[in-house]
Amino acid sequence: MNAVAAAVAVAREHGLRVDEPRVLRDAHNLVVHLAPAPVVARVGKLMADVRPGIRERELALAIWLAERSLPIVPPSPELPQVVHERGGHTMTFWTLVERARHDGLAASSALLELHGALPEYDGDVADFWPIAETREVLATRVALPAFVSEALEHVARELRYEPVLVHGDAHLNNCFFTAAGALWGDLEDACLAPVEWDAACLAAVLATESDAGYERALAQLPCDADRLRLLVVLRIVVIVVWSAMRFGPDVARERLAWLRRNAS
């Protein structure tokens, strides 16, 4: 059974009408709108193999945040809010939010609201995964120029921080904009990290391209400038490594070139 069929089968068993499942994204997860139901299935692919327990942690955190009316895409109330399994696939179900135009100020306001609440969360959370996990992927799954691992190890030596719980993957494609404001989704990378890690996820886009929405969002976030510079290098290493693992090394050529010029 393929991933789309598995998600449709689980949804229909719980009484949802699904006529035209529509794939919204096919990357580390398969994201499917179960049209016409206002429900999105996220079916695990690569991530569950690399980071066991990721679905359960993400869902528990999302439920906690949604119960407090914080600005996230909530789990769907149309199905039991648990990790479902079918045909070898694990999946969770979320409320459909139609995307509107990026609004950097709304995104940063919502992110700051999350940052204000996350220290109170006492559930199971991941440690800061980008260094150890990326080191393992570099050693076992991809072949990239030596300067990529050198940049990673430079950050590992220099980085000092007090860990706090952050979103973990705060780029604007993980933010959904509505008339009422911004909602953050995709909490699977939430972890105990430097507080600037979310800002680094925004700033890494600006390292290689210009985007006014990202500029406005980043400007609202308080950061230690030196730590942010280190974390931008780390974020770009993460993007390069994961892109190479998923799509091949040619996909990340511009960011590889940036690392060669800027990492030391």
Residue appearing with tokens 């730590």: 227
pLDDT tens, residue by residue, 53-86: 899 999 999 999 999 999 999 999 999 999 999 9
The helix/strand/coil state of 33 is strand
| Together in a domain, 142 and 237 | yes
Structural domain boundaries, residue 144: 104-262
| Together in a domain, 87 and 109 | no
| Together in a domain, 74 and 108 | no
Find the Cα–Cα–Cα–Cα dihedral 94, 96, 97, 98, rounded to 10°: 150
Q: What pLDDT does 111 receive? A: 97
| Together in a domain, 50 and 127 | no
| Together in a domain, 69 and 138 | no
Helices (H) and strands (E) in the chain, counts: 10, 9
The helix/strand/coil state of 197 is helix
pLDDT tens, residue by residue, 99-143: 778 899 999 999 999 999 999 999 999 999 999 999 999 988 888
Q: What pLDDT does 252 receive? A: 78
Region 174-189 average pLDDT? 93
Boundary of a domain, candidates 76, 95, 114: 95
| Together in a domain, 80 and 116 | no
Q: What pLDDT does 28 receive? A: 79
pLDDT exceeds 90 at position 170: yes
| Together in a domain, 78 and 39 | yes
Sign of the Cα pseudo-torsion (63, 68, 72, 76, in order) = positive
**Residue 80 CA from chain centroid, whole number:** 23
| Together in a domain, 137 and 60 | no
Region 169-179 average pLDDT? 92
66 burial level (CB within 10 Å; 0-12, 13-18, 19+): middle
Band of pLDDT at residue 254, cut at 50, 70 and 90: confident
CATH code, domain with 66: 3.30.200.20
Region 178-196 average pLDDT? 94
> Count of domains in the chain?
2
Between residues 53 and 235, which one has the greater pLDDT? 235
pLDDT tens, residue by residue, 20-48: 999 998 877 899 999 999 999 999 876 66
| Together in a domain, 88 and 127 | no
